[in-house]
């Protein structure tokens, strides 16, 4: 690769970084305002193995399954008093040298309010991380694989140490189109945190082994 080609490649990667940031920001805004079809518009639904893994709800793979988890579990029916506000911080994005794919990771602090019958809505902390494989579809970047790693979901007033009611359940898919979670390990004062999901590392092109990079504990890779 000549110096000119290297420079052009760097420019393409920088442009892609910017586009990926905006795509994920728009997807998160659509999530916060509970717009199912807009959320789905950012996914590469034409890819056979497109997937969304959502905390302990399991892995949803394929167009039909991704549409199901968004409509059935992530987006709620309109309800007065409900609120979700997730944020994206600390972007870690590696665009492949061939600019065909990208690996990305964000910290996601958030809050929620969930209506309750004959009571004020319950205020919740919702914090986690989101790891994403993006695929270049020519004029735009699309979400290929997304995994939301829930760190805490707890009552605002009690906090993540006292409130254990929303922490864990058996790793059993509750939706007919979901598969068992690949990883779900929320905060517990009885355990030591692992460095998962992993930060993406520079790479040349996406290979089969890259599919599990978010769960990689080998810090040399």
Please name which of 130, 161, 135 lies closest in space to residue 46, comparing C-alpha atoms: 135
**C-alpha to C-alpha distance for 74 and 184, rounded to whole angstroms:** 17
With cut-offs at 50, 70 and 90, classify the pLDDT of residue 4: confident
CB 109 within 8 A of CB 127: yes
Which pLDDT does position 170 carry in this prediction? Answer: 54
Question: What residues does each domain of the chain span?
Answer: 3-209
For the whole model, what pTM was predicted? 0.93
Cis peptide before 197 (omega within 30 of 0): yes
Selected from 3.40.50.2030, 3.10.450.50, 3.40.930.10, 2.60.40.10, the CATH number assigned to the domain covering 3-209 reads 3.10.450.50
**C-alpha to C-alpha distance for 215 and 204, rounded to whole angstroms:** 19
Phi-psi region of 99 (alpha: psi -120 to 50; beta: other; left: phi over 0): left
Rg (CA), the chain: 18
Which pLDDT does position 167 carry in this prediction? Answer: 64
pLDDT tens digit sequence for 181-191 = 899 999 988 88
Question: Average pLDDT in the 15-31 region?
Answer: 98
Average model confidence (pLDDT) across the chain: 92
């Amino acid at each position: 690769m000549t110096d000119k080609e290297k420079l052009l490649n760097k420019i393409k990667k920088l442009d892609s970084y910017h586009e990926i940031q905006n795509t994920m920001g728009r997807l998160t805004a659509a999530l916060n305002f509970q717009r199912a079809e807009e959320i789905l518009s950012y996914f590469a639904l034409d890819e056979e193995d497109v997937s969304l893994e959502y905390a302990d709800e399991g892995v949803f793979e394929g167009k039909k399954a991704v549409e199901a988890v968004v409509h059935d579990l992530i987006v709620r029916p309109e309800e007065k008093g409900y609120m979700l506000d997730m944020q994206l911080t600390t972007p870690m994005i590696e665009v492949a040298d061939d600019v065909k794919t990208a690996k990305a990771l964000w910290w996601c602090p958030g809050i929620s309010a969930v209506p309750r019958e004959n009571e004020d809505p319950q205020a919740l902390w919702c914090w986690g991380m989101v790891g994403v494989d993006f695929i270049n579809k020519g004029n735009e970047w699309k979400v290929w694989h997304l995994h939301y790693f829930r760190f805490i979901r707890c009552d605002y007033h009690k906090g993540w140490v006292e409130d254990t009611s929303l922490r864990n359940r058996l790793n059993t898919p509750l939706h007919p189109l979901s598969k068992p979670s690949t990883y779900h390990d929320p905060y517990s004062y009885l355990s030591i945190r692992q460095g998962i999901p992993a930060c993406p590392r520079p790479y040349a092109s996406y290979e089969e082994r890259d599919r599990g990079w978010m769960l990689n504990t080998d810090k040399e890779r």
